[in-house]
């Protein structure tokens, strides 16, 4: 997935299936990036 490459994160298929809006994607990425910092 392009988001995984762009933000250097891994998105499990189960989580990816739940992301249906741009806002959900933004929130998910923010959470993952903050957790890895």
Q: What is the pLDDT of residue 36?
A: 85
How many whole angstroms separate alpha carbon 1 and alpha carbon 7? 10
Res 1: pLDDT: 77
Residue 22 has a pLDDT of: 97
Q: Where are the domains of the chain?
A: 2-36
At 10 the pLDDT is 94
For 1-37, the pLDDT digits (tens) are: 799 999 999 999 999 999 999 999 999 999 999 998 7
CB 28 within 8 A of CB 11: yes
Specify the pLDDT at position 33.
Answer: 92
Residues in the chain: 37
């Amino acid at each position: 997935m392009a988001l995984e490459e762009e933000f250097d994160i891994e998105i499990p298929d189960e989580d990816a299936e739940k992301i249906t809006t741009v806002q959900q994607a933004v929130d998910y990425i923010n959470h993952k990036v903050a957790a890895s910092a």
